[in-house]
Structure 1
C-alpha cells in the first residue's frame, strides 16, 4: 500500500470529486425535468419512475465486474473507460425522440457514471489513512449533494433559456473535461497496489457474499438508503408538485433546499466521523440510534400529506444519512485487496434498491389511482409501503447485530 502525502491527497480527492459532481447532476436532474419530460413524452407515474430508475439500473448491472476491474486495473484507468460511456449517454439523451430512446440513454448514463464513486472509494482505501478515508468518503457524498443542488434551481433557471436538450450536451462536454482532469492528476496503480497479478485467476466475490456483516447491512442499503436516494433523485419533485401543490419554480426551490440540507449534513459527517471513531462511537451504534429518525420522518410524510413540504422531505433525507455510513464501514471490514469488490457489491445492493423503490413507488401510485384514490392519497399509500419495508430492514439490522460476532 502506498499512502499519498497531504498535497497529493487533496489533489486526488478534487480530481475524483469533479467527475462525481456531474454524475450527481445526472442522477437528480430528472426530478427537476419531470414536468417537462412528462408533458413532452406523455409519461404516467410508472413510466417516469422507470425512466429515472434507468440510471440506477445501468449503475447496478455493472457493479460486480466493476469491483473486479477496480481491484485489478485501478481507479484511474477504470474511471476513464466508464466516464467515456457517460459522455455518449448524455449525447444520446439529448437526441432522444421517444420514451424507449430516452430510457436506453438514461441506462447508458448510469452505466457510465457507475465508477464515479466506487473508483475514488477504492483508491482512498489504498492511498489514504483510515481517519482520512472516513472524512473523504463523507465529503465525496457531500460533493454529490453539491451536484444535486446544481440540478434544481440552476437547471430550472436555464430551462427557459436553452431547453433541456442543450443542458445534456453541456453535461457531455463537462464530463469529457473531467476525464482530462482524472488522467492528469490521479496516479496509476503502483505495483504494490495490484491486488491481482497478470494472469491470476478471476477474482471471487465469495468472501464478500459469505460475510455476515455484509448481510447485516444489505436490507438497510436496499430499502432505507436506496429509498432515500429514490425520493431525493425523483419523487421529492412530484411530491412537492402533486401532493403539496407547488408550481414548477416552487418545486425546484424545494429540491434546492433539500439538497442544500444534504450537502451540509455530509459536510458535518466528514468533520465528525474521525472524532466519533476515536471515542468508540462506531458505525453500528450510529445507525442503530439514527435510523428511527428516518422512519419517523417517512411516517410524518404519510400522515401529513399535503402539509408535508420541502422541510419534511429534507428531514427525511438528512435523517437517512445515518445509513450512508454503512458503505465505508463495509469496505473497511474487508482487507484492502478486496476493497473494490466489497464496495461494489454493497453499491449493487443500494442501486438495485433505488431502481426497485423508484419504479415501485410509481407503479403503486398508478395502481392506487386506478383503484379510485386521489393523487394525494395514492402518494401517501405508496410511501406507506416504503415505510413498512424500511421498518422491516431496521428490525433485521437489530436482530443481525445481536447475533453477528463479526460485527465491528
Structure 2
C-alpha cells in the first residue's frame, strides 16, 4: 500500500472533490427543475420519477465493469474516460426536444459520472490509512452535498435569466475543467494482488457475509435517502405541503446545507469514534432507527411536514453512509474497486427503484381515487416498510456474523 503524505493526500482529495461537485449538481438538479420540466414536457409523477431515476439507471449499469477497470487501470485513467461521456450527456440534455431525448441524455449523464465517487474511494483504500479513509469518504459526501446545495437556489435564480438548458452547458464546461485537474494531480496505479494468490473476482465480493449483511440497508435505506434528497422532497413540498416552486427550492437548499454540515461533522468525528471502539456497525444499529421514526412522523403529519421534516429525515439517514467505506475496508485493496462498485450498484439500483417506485405508487393510489396528499402518504408508507425491512436484515446479520469488521489485509 503506497500511503500518501498529508500534503499530497489533500491535493488528491481536492482534485477528486472538484469533479464530484459537478457530479452531485447533475444528480440533484432535476429536483429543482421538476416544476419546469413537468410543465414544458407535460410529465406526470411516473415520468418524473423515471426521468430522475434514469440517471441512476445509467449509473448502476456501469458499476460492475467499473470495479474491474478501477482495480486494473486505476482511478485516474478510468474517471477521465467516464467524465467525457458525462460532458456529452449534459450537452445532449440541453438540446433535448422531447421526453425520450431527455431520458436518453439523463442515462448518459449517469454513465458519465458513475466513476466520480468510486474512483476516489478506490484510491483512498490504497493511499490512506483506515481512519483517514473514513474521514475522506465523509468529506467526499460533504462535497456532494455542496454540489446539491448549488443545484437548488442558485439554479432556481438562474432559470429566469438563462432558462434550464444553459445550466447543462455550464455543467459540461465544469466537468471538462475537472478532467484537466485530474490529469494534473492524481497519481498513477500499479496492479495489486489478493493475499493467497487468488485472482480477484466479483464472486469473492458477492459471497462475503459482510457485503450481504449491508446489502438491503444499502438498497432501501441509503438508496432511499438519495432518492428523497435528489427528487421526492421537492414534489412533496409542492404537491403535499403547498410550497411555491421558489419556496420549495429554498427548502431543498436548506436540506442540502444540513447534509453538508452533517457529512463535515462525520468526517471530523469518525477517526475519534474509531479510536474509542465505536465502529460502523454499532453506529448504524443505534442511529438508523431515528430515520424510521422521522419518516413515520412525516407520513402522519402529511401537509404539515415540510423542508425541516425532510431535512431531519435525510440527516438521520446518514448513519447508513458509514457502510460504504466499511465495505471497502472489509476487502484487500486489490479488490477494493470491485467491492466498492458492487456496493454502489446496490445503492444506486435502490435509488432508481425507489425514485420510480414512489412515482408509480403515487399515480397508482391516485388511480384508485385517493387524493393527492393521501397518494403521497401511501407511497411513503410503502417506502417506510421497505426501510424497516432493510434494517431488520442488517440486525439479523449482526447476530449471524461478527459485530465489527476491521480493515482487511492490503
TM-score, normalised with respect to structure 1: 0.97
Once the two structures are superposed, residues 151-195 of structure 1 have per-residue CA deviations (whole angstroms, 9 ceiling, x without a partner) of 000000000000000010010011000000000111111xxx312
Separation of aligned partners in 2, 1:85 and 1:129: 32
Taking only aligned residues, the RMSD between alpha carbons, in angstroms, comes to 1.3
* Partner in structure 2 of residue 3 of structure 1: 3
Contact 1:139–1:267 at 8 Å: present in 2 too?
Answer: yes
Separation of aligned partners in 1, 2:294 and 2:144: 22
Shift of 1:116: 0.1
* Partner in structure 2 of residue 239 of structure 1: 236
Shift of 1:106: 0.2
Contact 2:281–2:403 at 8 Å: present in 1 too?
Answer: no
Match for residue 306 of structure 1 among 303, 307, 329: 303
Match for residue 258 of structure 1 among 237, 243, 255: 255
Contact 1:37–1:43 at 8 Å: present in 2 too?
Answer: yes
* Partner in structure 1 of residue 46 of structure 2: 46
* Partner in structure 1 of residue 379 of structure 2: 382
Distance change in 2, residues 1:201/1:291 (3 Å): closer
Once the two structures are superposed, residues 235-269 of structure 1 have per-residue CA deviations (whole angstroms, 9 ceiling, x without a partner) of 01000100000001100000000000000000000
Separation of aligned partners in 2, 1:86 and 1:161: 25
Shift of 1:392: 1.0
* Partner in structure 2 of residue 351 of structure 1: 348
- In the alignment, structure 1 residue 224 sits paired with structure 2 residue 221: yes
Distance change in 2, residues 1:100/1:201 (3 Å): farther
Contact 1:53–1:359 at 8 Å: present in 2 too?
Answer: yes
Contact 1:83–1:179 at 8 Å: present in 2 too?
Answer: yes
- In the alignment, structure 1 residue 337 sits paired with structure 2 residue 327: no
* Partner in structure 1 of residue 110 of structure 2: 110
Contact 2:200–2:335 at 8 Å: present in 1 too?
Answer: no
Separation of aligned partners in 2, 1:384 and 1:12: 42
Separation of aligned partners in 2, 1:307 and 1:385: 20
Once the two structures are superposed, residues 35-68 of structure 1 have per-residue CA deviations (whole angstroms, 9 ceiling, x without a partner) of 0000111100000000000000001000000000
Gaps in structure 2 of 5+ consecutive residues: 406-410
Separation of aligned partners in 2, 1:396 and 1:112: 32
* Partner in structure 2 of residue 170 of structure 1: 170
Q: Equivalent residue of 1:125, what SS?
A: helix
Separation of aligned partners in 1, 2:167 and 2:199: 41
Separation of aligned partners in 2, 1:296 and 1:405: 27
Separation of aligned partners in 1, 2:404 and 2:135: 21
* Partner in structure 1 of residue 408 of structure 2: none
Shift of 1:130: 1.1
Larger deviation, residues 201-210 vs 164-173: 201-210
Shift of 1:119: 0.1
Contact 2:280–2:404 at 8 Å: present in 1 too?
Answer: no
Separation of aligned partners in 2, 1:116 and 1:34: 24
Contact 1:212–1:406 at 8 Å: present in 2 too?
Answer: no
Gaps in structure 1 of 5+ consecutive residues: none
Shift of 1:406: 7.5
Shift of 1:405: 3.5
Contact 2:282–2:403 at 8 Å: present in 1 too?
Answer: no
Number of equivalences? 403
Separation of aligned partners in 1, 2:216 and 2:247: 34
Q: Equivalent residue of 1:334, what SS?
A: coil
Separation of aligned partners in 2, 1:347 and 1:365: 27
* Partner in structure 1 of residue 27 of structure 2: 27
Q: Equivalent residue of 2:277, what SS?
A: coil
